[in-house]
Chain A
């Protein structure tokens, strides 16, 4: 076993950063790190020993008239993009969930939120609407401004994607309900004040 191979497979104790011995792995009970005596439970899986495949560089175009890559005109096309149909060389071909996509389609899919697997952040508009509808009730006066804003958020982002974990619309519904109640309350208060002022 070469040093580089050992280095890539060595798993370090998270306390002393020394390699854990193989006897510490996949055991039924907790083990001790031989170096720092920390109690550890370590699991190793077969992918630890799988080498990382080197990326393809794309074959250079040798024969004139042969189909070339849309992004690299001097590289040989090997496959069309499943989404846009552009010819791709093996460098540009991205295997994504069984589809062959070009970098631009992936970028666009990520930007438009069409590829959930690539999404790494989401704004929770339902939480914003709910907070705007409920939290200002502590001070009461702020609800004059926040209730319409909460209502706007709830309606504007009703169809916007919320948490990736799957949520119902209950937060939006509660936000709308509270916001409407607050607005009705304010209208009633102003109506009563105007009525008193006029009489």
Chain B
């Protein structure tokens, strides 16, 4: 039997098994629920204590659209080329499914509307509401929540509202209101270095499609290792830092991409070894297998290169754009 009457306000599943976050309207409070494996964590915001709700439109949605379009274009070019060359029907069906899958994802993403970040403030805390991440859904939820809060607190008078500062505030307002969260000042230079290295990786991958030897392969491996080191350092340094959320998410996305890329490269090396009836046992043998075949002659290798180029270029460009935006904001806040 249900113990309490809660009305669902929003729900969001965070990818990569990191849990689920949801918001529920209670009789006298807003309940934020975070699911971690087999545990539920609750946080209550009583309507009488809520001071403000701030929604901000973010550019995460634009970045996701950009990446999806890049991915779709790469797949269309790859399998369109395969169609002309008369690839096997199995390959083409697989390509069609992949294109359809990404197209549906893009469509769903665009239909859900622009992304946003919502914060709720009480006298002692400012909390980000993770489950409200899309503008239409968030605005609808906020409207419902506003009715509940105003039924408890009443509406704010205009003369009260005008007591809030009327212009960009002086330095005293720069610190976030949450005293417990001591954020370290981070310039984001490691993130920027990662994005630049990713761009280098994209160009090197493009170069190795046409020209490859052990030197270029080792250079590529060194570049990959450098990017991995930079990402790990970025992830460590961004914890409890004042870096923007987009920049932090980008570092995690690149970390994920590097693992996927490394996994795919390893699978390909095994496949290439098996197709030559020997499995590479040492790193040197893997290198031999990888450089023996040209991407222009091997479709899976070409697909691997295209994937690497598209992702590195996408993450590099999007990352640098976010980084410059963050720098601009940091400089503006210092003035």
Query: Are the CB atoms of B56 and A44 closer together than 8 Å?
Result: no
- State whether A45 and B40 are in contact (beta carbons under 8 Å apart), knowing that A9-B164, A22-B163, A34-B167 are contacts in the complex: no
Q: Say how far B93's CB is from chain A's closest CB, in angstroms.
A: 26
Interface check B84, CB cutoff 8 A = no
> A117 to B4, alpha carbons, bound, how many Å?
11
Query: Are the CB atoms of A10 and B173 closer together than 8 Å?
Result: yes
> A22 to B168, alpha carbons, bound, how many Å?
10
Interface check B329, CB cutoff 8 A = yes
Q: Which residue of A lies closest to B165 (CB)?
A: A19
Partner of B169, one of A10, A117, A122, A131: A10
Could you say which interface size class chain A belongs to? 35 or more
Partner of B168, one of A19, A25, A39, A42: A19
Query: Are the CB atoms of A22 and B161 closer together than 8 Å?
Result: yes
Query: Are the CB atoms of A21 and B164 closer together than 8 Å?
Result: yes
Contacts of B49 in A (CB 8 A): 47
Query: Are the CB atoms of A47 and B117 closer together than 8 Å?
Result: no
Contacts of A49 in B (CB 8 A): 160, 163
Contacts of B42 in A (CB 8 A): 119-122, 164
Q: Which residue of A lies closest to B43 (CB)?
A: A120
Partner of A46, one of B123, B154, B166: B154
Query: Are the CB atoms of B333 and A35 closer together than 8 Å?
Result: yes
Interface string of B303-335 (1 = CB under 8 A from A): 000000000000000000000000001001100
> A65 to B56, alpha carbons, bound, how many Å?
61
For chain B residues 1-26, which have a beta carbon within 8 Å of chain A? Answer: 1-6, 24
Interface check B125, CB cutoff 8 A = no
> A22 to B121, alpha carbons, bound, how many Å?
16
Partner of B2, one of A15, A128, A167: A167
Q: Which residue of B lies closest to A36 (CB)?
A: B329
Query: Are the CB atoms of A44 and B52 closer together than 8 Å?
Result: yes
For chain B residues 47-73, which have a beta carbon within 8 Å of chain A? Answer: 48-57
For chain A residues 157-181, which have a beta carbon within 8 Å of chain B? Answer: 161, 163-168
For chain B residues 243-263, which have a beta carbon within 8 Å of chain A? Answer: 244
Query: Are the CB atoms of A45 and B150 closer together than 8 Å?
Result: yes
Contacts of B53 in A (CB 8 A): 42-43
Greatest chain B CB density within 10 A among A11, A34, A40, A52 is at: A11
Interface check A199, CB cutoff 8 A = no
Query: Are the CB atoms of A40 and B156 closer together than 8 Å?
Result: no
Query: Are the CB atoms of A45 and B51 closer together than 8 Å?
Result: yes
Partner of A122, one of B2, B40, B50: B40
Query: Are the CB atoms of A124 and B39 closer together than 8 Å?
Result: yes
Query: Are the CB atoms of B163 and A9 closer together than 8 Å?
Result: yes
Interface check B33, CB cutoff 8 A = yes
Interface string of A121-150 (1 = CB under 8 A from B): 111110110010000000000000000000
Interface check A1, CB cutoff 8 A = yes
Interface check B112, CB cutoff 8 A = no
> A161 to B168, alpha carbons, bound, how many Å?
49
For chain A residues 1-31, which have a beta carbon within 8 Å of chain B? Answer: 1, 3, 6-7, 9-23, 25-26, 30
Q: Say how far B189's CB is from chain A's closest CB, in angstroms.
A: 20
Interface check A41, CB cutoff 8 A = yes
- State whether A40 and B54 are in contact (beta carbons under 8 Å apart), knowing that A11-B164, A164-B4 are contacts in the complex: yes
- State whether A17 and B174 are in contact (beta carbons under 8 Å apart), knowing that A38-B57, A120-B41 are contacts in the complex: yes
- State whether A15 and B168 are in contact (beta carbons under 8 Å apart), knowing that A42-B53, A45-B156, A46-B156 are contacts in the complex: no
Query: Are the CB atoms of B173 and A19 closer together than 8 Å?
Result: yes
Partner of B55, one of A11, A35, A41, A167: A41
Interface check A116, CB cutoff 8 A = yes
Q: Say how far A31's CB is from chain B's closest CB, in angstroms.
A: 10
Contacts of A25 in B (CB 8 A): 52, 156, 161, 164
Partner of A165, one of B24, B48, B50, B156: B24
Query: Are the CB atoms of A43 and B52 closer together than 8 Å?
Result: yes
Interface check B176, CB cutoff 8 A = yes
Query: Are the CB atoms of B40 and A164 closer together than 8 Å?
Result: yes
Interface check B153, CB cutoff 8 A = yes
10 inter-chain pairs at a CB distance below 8 angstroms, sorted by A residue, are: A10-B173, A12-B173, A14-B54, A22-B164, A23-B166, A33-B56, A41-B142, A43-B52, A164-B31, A165-B4
